[in-house]
Structure 1
Amino acid sequence: MQPIIHPFHDDATGTLTYVVFERPGSAAAIIDSVLDYDPKAARTSTRSADAVIAFVRAQRLAVEWILETHAHADHLSAAPYLKRRLGGKIGIGESIRTVQHVFRKIFDLEPAFRLDGSQFDHLFSDGERFAIGELAADALFVPGHTPADMAYRIGDAVFVGDTLFMPDAGTARCDFPGGDARTLYGSIGRLLALPPDTPLFVCHDYPPESRAAHWQATVREQRERNIHVGGGKSEAEFIAMREARDATLGMPTLFIPAIQVNIRAGRFPDPSGNGTTYLKLPLNTF
């Protein structure tokens, strides 16, 4: 059975959230949700997540999974909010433990912070098969952008996270802690070895001014036209390009709040004694 895929594009972060289901009234998964965050005021809102909730309820869907492709650095996850209102299990790749180890020291997280991924309901292993109602799915380990990236194949569609962008935008950066260009090249090769008509759905689109946002390309289109890996570019060519490009990039606007929240499965630290929740700013670290 092939899925119905309904995308939600967040203009502020360029993020794509997907609702994936078989038919109205069936089981569903939500992939890479967004909690709106104003970095100037440090204020959250649920406008984007509420749009997803309204769609799910209008379609009479039963949410079984709330999936994360990785611990995002450019938006905060709305997974706990969606779980409270719609149900479902929050899932991510099992290598999130590696990411938690890296950032626990950087953010000097509380001693009680667990490094076993138990903040999530399920940790996927490479090749693990699961189901969304009657839809068959499996998890593919595609590290490189971070050590913990997963892609999810649901029916004939593959949700690739940040591993690939649209062909005219290239590929994900690899200069975050634990990222590696050589590893990313191998992960991209795994995706591009899929059948050529396989539709790949990206997590972000940062379009040039000449086009509107878009989020789907086939394996064939990526093989032929991706500006970073298309046309048979070698591993050495890719690594040289990626490392040189990454050296010119600034940090994403929401990197510091997003990582602290997303390694907790979208939850915030416990409030302090005054009832206010705080995130940390590690000065002169990145």
Structure 2
Amino acid sequence: MATLAAHELQPNIDTIFEPKTSTWQYIVSDPVTNDAVIIDSVLDYDPATNTIGNASAEQLLSLIKERGYNIVAILETHAHADHLTGACYIQQYLLRRGKPKPPICIGKRITQVQHTFAAKYGLTEDEYISVFDRLLDDDECIRVGSLQCKVLHLPGHTPDHLGYVIGHNVFVGDSLFQPDVGSARCDFPGGDARALFRSITEKLYALPDYYRIFVGHDYPPGGQGGRAEPRAFATVAEERRDNKHVRDGVDENQFIAWRTERDATLAEPRLIHQSLQFNIRGGKLPEASEHGHRFLHLPLKVPDEVWNWGFAPQG
């Protein structure tokens, strides 16, 4: 992969951590023009009351206003399964205030993910077809003022997963985490541990050692001797040397065996059903019913041993 010369212009990066879902959100801007992109924004959701909130999105919007940023694109690394995207809310907010419409962008393989989960949750095509403004090709470049944002396909966690290379920085979503946290799970539909290993070792670790890898989430280990505060990035050199799952000396088959065994023990993300239905719609709300309600579908799990203990229909 071609690299940028050290003297070339580097972006300003605002890092905003959302603690309830442990999500890093980013605003990446050209220091000359103030053009900027937002990467992986969050819209709040309270599962106890089924209420959507806007505090996290408003935090981003306040920062955008304070810094005078011109948002030229809202970027998603993938269809998140652990938080609702703030992309549509932010786009509509900017439009209502007379700002140019920033396109909501995601990888072109999102259509595969949409079809998979639309079938699972009973969504009709009109709820998710063409909801994103721009589907990105592999290695495509997006202008951010005088900077370029290069699209990097990073499959493994999900098939549609992208990273974004801007200057000496790469925003990797859920592909790779901090060295003491490791790598992303690969057990969602279309996930692939082999593809993830190759995304990391052949693409991310092929970048120069001084490049910074900005992660999508952080889960500080804490405990005795462990760090307690979230971090947004580690260098390529740090990841290659120290990542607990994928570092120099770990081979592909070893990683696949470990990742597969580990994923089989993981619980599903707390907001998986709400997040996926919302996010494959591009962050748009479900249509209101005739009574004014908006609905998401939640699967009902009824173990046989429970249903057979006197609850089965009679007759």
Fold in common (TM above 0.5): yes
Q: How does 1:178-197 map to 2 (within 5 A)?
A: 178-189=190-201, 190-197=203-210
Structure-2 residue corresponding to 1:107: 121
Structure-1 residue corresponding to 2:12: 4
Which consecutive segments of 4 or more residues in structure 1 shift more than 4 A? none
- In structure 1, the gaps of 5 or more residues are none
User: 1:283 Cα shift?
Assistant: 2.8
Partner SS for 1:231: coil
Q: Which of the residues 220, 232, 241 maps onto 1:207?
A: 220
CA distance in 1, matches of 2:125, 2:74: 28
Structure-2 residue corresponding to 1:164: 176
Q: Which of the residues 217, 222, 246 maps onto 2:234?
A: 217
Tell which deviates more after alignment, 86-95 or 170-179: 86-95
Partner SS for 1:258: helix
CA distance in 2, matches of 1:149, 1:284: 29
Structure-2 residue corresponding to 1:133: 145
Q: Which of the residues 66, 72, 82 maps onto 1:74?
A: 82
User: 1:186 Cα shift?
Assistant: 1.0
- In structure 2, the gaps of 5 or more residues are 1-8, 95-100, 303-315
CA distance in 1, matches of 2:208, 2:125: 46
- Structure number, greater radius of gyration: 2
CA distance in 2, matches of 1:48, 1:58: 16
RMSD across aligned positions (CA) = 1.3
CA distance in 1, matches of 2:108, 2:91: 20
CA distance in 1, matches of 2:93, 2:300: 37
User: 1:111 Cα shift?
Assistant: 4.7
Cα 1:41/1:24, change in 2 over 3 Å: farther
Are 2:187 and 1:175 aligned? yes
Q: Amino acid of the residue matched to residue 279 of structure 1? A: L
Determine what percentage of the aligned residue pairs are the same residue.
46
User: 1:113 Cα shift?
Assistant: 3.4
Cα 1:69/1:217, change in 2 over 3 Å: same
Q: TM-score, normalised by structure 1?
A: 0.96
CA distance in 2, matches of 1:114, 1:262: 9
Q: How does 1:1-286 map to 2 (within 5 A)?
A: 1-23=9-31, 26-86=34-94, 87-115=101-129, 118-189=130-201, 190-209=203-222, 210-211=226-227, 212-284=229-301
Does the CA contact (< 8 Å) of 1:24 and 1:59 recur in 2?
Answer: no
The number of aligned residues is: 283
